[in-house]
Amino acid sequence: MREWSDEQTGRKVRQLTDLPNGTRVSYFRMPRNLPGGLTLAWGRHDTGNLLALEPETGEVMRLPLTVNHWLKLRETDGRLWCASGRRIWAVDLPGGVPEPVGDVPEEIPGDLADITCDGRTVILSEKIQDLDAYPVPTTRDLQSFWHYFSRPRTGRIWACDLLSGQAALLNESHEVCFDHQDTSPTDPGLLKFCEDMLDALGQRIWSVRVDGSALKKIRPQERFEFVTHEFWWPDGEHIGYTYQDRRGDDTLCTLPWGEYSPMPTRLGIARLDGTECYLSDPLSHYHSHLYVSPDGRWVCGEGTDGHSFAYAAPFSRDSARIGLVPLATIHTPYIPFRGQNVETGFTPDSRWLLYNDTVEGRMQVCAVRVDV
């Protein structure tokens, strides 16, 4: 473990990993915390590619497992479901041995996307699109941005019951694909997902039962309301997201990126019936992702172009003010529309903020104490 004073914030930063091929914590909305205070990370080492980190002591456990497709971690007991081809495995971390729990039939289309918290239902995402002809934009070129969003595409979400092998079609569109298929942390029958249009031009967040019933809008949007980067609140009863009101914003077509919008960003929270129950005051600037601590008492953010920091702030639904404080500088170059792969998130005890950053040319996992 290396430790230094951040050059801009003055806070102590701990570099927890130092593997030659780099390491990282997973996408911000993916569960990653284990019982006992450990956090999972990816990084190729001599016995596998999973690590368990403990920032208080600097301990790094190299788990003897190679996981190529991580489906879901159940944080309450450390059970991880993963896939090899269409075979589903489960392992109880940190010390368990993987065991097969079922197979997804080949005739069910789509890529494996998630699994329910009881390990019974696998979610698959089917996307029909041509990303060679319509590449994901990585610059501020307006033509390439709108070219990407104009691509023809078809999307479907399927659910496969591992006990019966039967599939259910949960949703289908010939206008958009579906992303962020995230099953509930507490309800084994519930899934949330998003549509992949520009966030201000349609309904972003949806939920559906895994039998295909009860398709529902989460935080119904008026046209030109910008809702994005949704995530489960720890109680499983709410969904958080970032919000910009771009109604009446005449720059929407020329500045469609959230990070370059002139409109302020807020944190919103909705109940599972779809209604918004919290909307913060404007934040100081756009954050590529906002997230919440396991106890719901802290939120974190990832700054964007011109605001390259990992941020944290105390949080209460009784107050609309969120005073995000920069804790650590991010050194990874910023890519418009893609961010910096920071993936901030709190440790199980909410005492540390973990994040990815580039150190000596390689992505590594770093930590800074949450003491604002």
pLDDT digits (tens, 9 = 90+) for 155-207: 999 999 999 999 999 999 999 999 999 999 999 999 999 999 999 999 999 99
Tell me whether residue 171 is exposed, middle or buried, using C-beta atoms within 10 angstroms of its C-beta: 0 to 12, 13 to 18, 19 or more. middle
Enclosing H/E stretch for 143: helix 142-149
**258 — phi, psi (to 5°)?**
-60, -40
Cβ atoms of residues 346 and 352 within 8 Å? yes
Contacts of residue 252, Cβ cutoff 8 Å, sequence gap at least 6: 200, 224, 246, 261
Residue 342: the pLDDT is 98
pTM above 0.85, yes or no: yes
Handedness of CA 107, 110, 114, 116 (dihedral sign): negative
First to last CA, the chain: 23
Q: Residue type at 79?
A: R
What pLDDT does 65 receive? 94
Task: Write down all domains in the chain, each with its CATH number in brackets.
Answer: 2-369 (2.130.10.10)
For residue 236, how many other CB atoms are within 10 A of its CB?
Answer: 14
**What's the pLDDT score for residue 233?**
98
Residue with tokens 């990084």: 43
Can you give the pLDDT at residue 191? 98
Residue 361: how many CA atoms within 13 Å on its side-chain side?
Answer: 2
**Which amino acid is residue 77, in one-letter code?**
D
Which residues of the chain, if any, have pLDDT below 70?
A: none
The per-residue b/e assignment along 287-320, b for 16 or more CB within 10 angstroms, e otherwise, is bbbbbbbbeeebbbbbbbbebbbbbbbbbeeeee
- Check residue 127 and give its pLDDT: 98
Q: For residue 142, give the H/E element and its range.
A: helix 142-149
pLDDT for residue 357: 98
- Beta carbons of 104 and 88 less than 8 angstroms apart: yes
- What is the reported pLDDT for 148? 98
Side chain identity, residue 347: T
The per-residue pLDDT for 160 is: 98
